Amino acid sequence: MSRPIGEKHSIEVAGFVAAFEKPFSKVAIEALETLKKTLDSKYPVFSTTKTLKVHLEGSTFKQQPSSEVSGVSLQQTKKDGRPAWTIRADNNNIIVSCFEYDKWKQTSSKALEDLFTVFSVVADDRNPLSLLALQVVDRFVGPSKNQYQLKQVFNTTSKFLTKQAASSGPLWHVHQGWFVEDKKFKGQFLNVLNLSTNDTPAGIISTIDHTIRYLLGPEEQPAQKITQKFMETIFNTLHDYNKIIFADLLNAKQKRAVGI
């Protein structure tokens, strides 16, 4: 039987994303560097990120690091040095990632407070916010390849699985996406769902990687209209969609194991 990677849940990482239409301006990037002091008590590890230029040489793409600062990276670590929380704000994205997920209310409260703090630093009416997204990566550790069965993790009748996945043995993946319209909101929701397995020394790892994006309507995009309460409303809705899909994918035993 497979087991969730955590004692209370199967979440490896939860990411809270805000993406703008254009890359951050030079003024916005300089403002991001003030976060070193503003968030020092929460994220003591701070660094700047640099632009990576890609160009074509013959038939090969070459990556060339640049001295140009594109944003910042902040980190709070666990006792063993692994990340507990991270923030990356560069190019046109702000991503707050939690690697020690507890419950939604506590985790989202901290994540959205930090996300809005960074958003407030770079908010620019000339650079509209284009989307908010929640990415949740769940993993389950299973037996070896010889003992693997799809039903050890998944509900084999889930509409998100394919017949091919069911007949492919221990190693497979299914990648899919679809839009959802909700009349309560002015924008659109886009689901991107990646299901896969891979062989490791610990056994077969089953991964459910679900990103649900809210594509803002034009009237919602200006920075002055974005409040923390608005973000909370959107992310709570994204979480609700994630729970519905996650519950459909799991078998009854795994749902009890993760408390749903």
What was the pLDDT predicted at 57? 56
Tokens of 122: 């770079």
What was the pLDDT predicted at 222? 86
226, 127 Cβ separation under 8 angstroms? no
Q: What pLDDT, in 10s, does the model give residues 90-124?
A: 999 999 999 999 999 999 999 999 999 999 999 99
Model confidence band, residue 64 (pLDDT cutoffs 50, 70, 90): low
Model confidence band, residue 1 (pLDDT cutoffs 50, 70, 90): confident
Q: Which range, of 12-26, 42-56, 243-257, averages the lowest pLDDT?
A: 42-56
Please provide the average confidence, as pLDDT, over all residues in the chain: 93
| Higher pLDDT, residue 220 or 212 | 212
What was the pLDDT predicted at 133? 98
**CA–CA separation, 124 and 96 (whole Å):** 20
Torsion of CA 69, 70, 71, 77, to 10 degrees: -80
Does this model's pTM top 0.85? My answer is: yes
What was the pLDDT predicted at 177? 98
Find, among 9, 7, 8, 1, the residue nearest to 136 by Cα: 9
Model confidence band, residue 34 (pLDDT cutoffs 50, 70, 90): very high
**CA–CA separation, 135 and 191 (whole Å):** 10
Torsion of CA 228, 229, 233, 235, to 10 degrees: 20
20, 130 Cβ separation under 8 angstroms? yes
What was the pLDDT predicted at 59? 56
